[in-house]
């Protein structure tokens, strides 16, 4: 089942509610991979009905990022979403989501400003705006997001809290390829040679996490070594490799509590992001 209009989405959800059924939302931009399908399966285990939204949101692409290059395969995505347990696919048009005159943006201060923030101006405001709209259009009991976009997940948690949107935000562990590469729709852009280099990102962050779990004071050295390893492997540019507080994303000089290592690095024209938890030994 696929609906295009907000009115039809609301009518479907209203029908479920009248039958006493709960509802989950899994927001996506399509090009569904195993990570998305795992989210849909988790949502289907947690709630009676699952809406998967498929919307390539132009507001979260910067002026130098090509929204038209983003992979689109609606027919295969709808089939995969339904197969994984979705009951309805919401695929609005750009004009339906942002009718002319749309003027309101959601900005989450602080959390949006570090890490990917300065490298992708406007990205998090565009993401926060569309996620707010999707949540208010669907009004689900729970919405599901992958931890691969860790900064996004924290921003969504904060906007839901700050705007009193009555929804539970569920994060799910990153799903990885057998060689460790985090699943991402953007992996489709990688050449064969780049695909061979790509898993070094996850391996580097994993080794940094083990080192920092053992020696919380070694942050600067771990960051420098991590960056050097990515360059040596063939990453063409590194936006950041940072060790941050797991809740506030404040950069850390030493690890004493729950921390997260986050990185963004380029292979040619393709930007990969990844992150891992650091659990310091007591």
**What are the two backbone dihedrals, phi and then psi, of residue 39, each rounded to the nearest 5 degrees?**
-65, -45
Pick from 89, 130, 155, 243 the residue near ligand PAF by CB under 6 A: 130
Instruction: Output the six-digit token pair for 12.
Output: 């479907």
Distance (Å, whole) CA 75 – CA 28: 15
Distance of CA 207 to the CA centre of its chain: 23
**Which positions are catalytic?**
36
Give me the least distance between CB of 57 and ligand PAF, in Å please.
4
27 binds ligand PAF per the rule CB under 6 A: yes
Give me the least distance between CB of 221 and ligand PAF, in Å please.
33
Whole-angstrom Cα Rg for the chain: 19
How many residues form the binding site for ligand PAF (CB under 6 A)? 10
If the CB atoms of residues 12 and 131 are measured against ligand PAF, the closer one turns out to be 131
Angle at 58 between CA 56 and CA 59, to 5 degrees: 125
Piece of the chain touching ligand PAF by CB under 6 A; list 12-20, 27-35, 40-48, 157-165? 27-35
Which residues from 60-79 bind ligand PAF, rule CB under 6 A? 60
Four-point Cα dihedral 53, 111, 214, 226, nearest 10: 80
Piece of the chain touching ligand PAF by CB under 6 A; list 21-29, 83-91, 227-235, 239-247? 21-29
If the CB atoms of residues 131 and 172 are measured against ligand PAF, the closer one turns out to be 131
Which residue has the closest beta carbon to ligand PAF? 27
155 binds ligand PAF per the rule CB under 6 A: no
149 binds ligand PAF per the rule CB under 6 A: yes
Judge whether 25 and 138 are in contact, CB under 8 Å. Answer: yes
Which residues from 98-127 bind ligand PAF, rule CB under 6 A? 127
User: What residues does 24 pair with on adjacent strands?
Assistant: 50, 142
Q: Which residues of 123-152 are buried (b: 16+ CB within 10 A; e: fewer)?
A: bbbbbbbbbbbbbebbbbbbbbbbbbbbbb
Judge whether 160 and 169 are in contact, CB under 8 Å. Answer: yes
Of 78, 97, 111, residue with least CA distance to 249? 111
If the CB atoms of residues 88 and 130 are measured against ligand PAF, the closer one turns out to be 130
Count other Cβ atoms within 10 Å, centred on residue 221.
13
Residue with tokens 């030493």: 254
If the CB atoms of residues 125 and 149 are measured against ligand PAF, the closer one turns out to be 149
Give me the least distance between CB of 223 and ligand PAF, in Å please.
26
If the CB atoms of residues 27 and 199 are measured against ligand PAF, the closer one turns out to be 27
Judge whether 27 and 134 are in contact, CB under 8 Å. Answer: yes
Piece of the chain touching ligand PAF by CB under 6 A; list 23-31, 68-76, 199-207, 239-247? 23-31
Distance (Å, whole) CA 267 – CA 273: 11
Which residues from 253-272 bind ligand PAF, rule CB under 6 A? none
Pick from 57, 129, 204, 275 the residue near ligand PAF by CB under 6 A: 57
Residues forming contacts to ligand PAF in the complex (CB under 6 A) are 27-29, 57, 60, 127, 130-131, 149, 152
């Amino acid at each position: 089942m696929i609906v295009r209009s907000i009115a039809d989405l609301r009518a479907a959800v209203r029908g479920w509610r009248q039958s006493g059924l709960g509802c989950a939302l899994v927001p996506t931009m399509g090009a569904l991979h195993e990570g998305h399908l795992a989210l849909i399966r988790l949502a289907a285990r947690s709630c009676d009905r699952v809406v998967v939204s498929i919307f390539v949101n132009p507001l979260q692409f910067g002026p130098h990022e090509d929204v038209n290059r983003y992979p689109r395969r609606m027919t295969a995505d709808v089939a995969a979403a339904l197969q994984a347990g979705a009951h309805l696919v919401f695929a609005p048009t750009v004009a339906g989501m942002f009718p002319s005159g749309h003027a309101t943006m959601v900005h989450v201060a602080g959390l949006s400003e570090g890490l990917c923030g300065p490298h992708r101006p406007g990205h998090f405001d565009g993401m926060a705006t569309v996620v707010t709209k999707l949540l208010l259009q669907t009004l689900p009991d729970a919405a599901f997001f992958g931890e691969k976009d860790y900064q996004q997940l924290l921003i969504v948690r904060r906007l839901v809290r700050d705007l009193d949107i009555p929804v539970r935000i569920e994060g799910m562990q990153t799903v990885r390829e057998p060689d460790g590469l985090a699943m991402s729709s953007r992996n489709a852009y990688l050449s064969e040679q780049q695909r061979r280099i790509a898993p070094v990102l996850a391996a580097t962050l994993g080794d940094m996490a083990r080192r920092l779990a053992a020696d919380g004071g070694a942050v600067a050295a771990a960051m420098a070594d991590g960056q050097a390893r990515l360059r040596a492997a063939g990453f063409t540019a590194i936006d950041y490799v940072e060790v941050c507080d797991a809740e506030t994303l404040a950069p850390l000089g030493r690890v004493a509590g729950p921390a997260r290592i986050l990185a963004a690095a380029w292979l040619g024209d393709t930007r990969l992001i990844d992150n891992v938890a650091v659990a310091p030994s007591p």
